[in-house]
């Protein structure tokens, strides 16, 4: 399997975040488009979140292997040829704090795919996941042909499901998780995933972006 497609649609966008936070609010994150030089930092954040949220669905042997190198290669390929996609990074003084990756018009019925949503452990419960989804929705409004947006989430990740429901996502179907890279030993049993959809991504956009927003259809 081409490593640039490693894991695509085999797993889900798994945020380690809630839309609410406790304690003192952190400094605002800074947002920017990802570039090819960001592949290593993105891979490290993604693998850290996979190891935190995918246990029980993916095998320990797979998760504890050299995933960073594999995902570094995959992200280098993605970011070197980003046509039809958008990757937005959130940074703070400690480095990469989160990211969202969108594939525009990936499905004729369901629209654009959020193929990666990751937030660092230090930014959990700060609202960063909500901000990243808003940036994804705005990218869809600006660049996609259709207005719909969707993602997949592991059925075992009930916290993420509550997060998506709170943001207006609709759970539309259940499916079996495909083995990463087509290697069945990378799975534990037969895990399932759920599709969450937003028929109009505009509901996720920041209020200031919704005002006067043209219909991209």
> Above 70 in pLDDT, residue 164?
yes
CA distance readout (Å), 159 to 18, 137, 164, 172: 8, 21, 9, 17
| pLDDT in the model for residue 175 | 98
Q: How do beta strands 111-119 and 170-176 pair? A: unpaired
Residue 156 to residue 2: CA distance in whole angstroms? 28
CA dihedral 129, 133, 138, 144 (to 10 degrees): 150
Tokens 């029980």 — which residue? 56
| pLDDT in the model for residue 7 | 44
What strands lie across the sheet with 149-154, from one edge to the other?
30-33, 85-92, 95-107, 111-119, 149-154, 192-198, 170-176
CB 155 within 8 A of CB 202: no
The predicted-structure confidence for 31-76, as pLDDT tens digits, reads as follows 999 999 999 999 999 999 999 999 999 999 999 999 999 999 999 9
What pTM did the predictor assign? Answer: 0.85
Higher-pLDDT residue of 17 and 118 is: 118
Confidence of residue 19 (pLDDT cuts 50, 70, 90): very low
| pLDDT in the model for residue 9 | 46
| pLDDT in the model for residue 23 | 55
> Above 50 in pLDDT, residue 202?
yes
Domains and CATH numbers, the chain: 3-21+30-208 (3.40.630.30)
Confidence of residue 214 (pLDDT cuts 50, 70, 90): very low
The predicted-structure confidence for 68-126, as pLDDT tens digits, reads as follows 999 999 999 999 999 999 999 999 999 999 999 999 999 999 999 999 999 999 998 88
> Above 90 in pLDDT, residue 8?
no
| pLDDT in the model for residue 1 | 36
Q: What is the mean pLDDT of the chain?
A: 88
Confidence of residue 16 (pLDDT cuts 50, 70, 90): very low
């Amino acid at each position: 399997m081409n490593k640039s497609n490693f894991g695509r649609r085999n797993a889900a966008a798994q945020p380690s975040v809630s839309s609410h936070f406790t304690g003192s609010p952190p400094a605002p994150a800074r947002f920017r488009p990802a570039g090819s030089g960001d592949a290593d930092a993105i891979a490290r954040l993604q693998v850290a979140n996979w190891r935190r949220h995918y246990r029980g669905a993916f095998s320990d042997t797979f998760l504890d292997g050299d995933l960073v190198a594999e995902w570094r290669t995959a992200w280098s390929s993605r970011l070197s040829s980003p046509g039809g996609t958008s990757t937005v990074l959130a940074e703070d003084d400690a480095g990469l704090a989160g990211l969202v990756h969108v594939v525009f018009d990936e499905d004729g019925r369901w629209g654009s795919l959020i193929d990666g949503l990751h937030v660092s452990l230090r930014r959990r419960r700060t609202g960063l996941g909500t901000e990243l989804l808003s940036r994804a929705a705005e990218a869809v409004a600006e660049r996609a042909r259709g207005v719909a947006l969707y993602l997949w989430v592991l059925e075992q990740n009930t916290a993420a499901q509550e997060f998506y429901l709170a943001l207006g996502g609709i759970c539309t179907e259940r499916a079996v998780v495909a083995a990463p890279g087509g290697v069945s030993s990378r799975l534990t049993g037969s895990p399932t995933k759920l599709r969450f959809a937003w028929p109009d991504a505009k509901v996720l956009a920041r209020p200031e972006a919704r005002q006067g927003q043209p219909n991209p259809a």
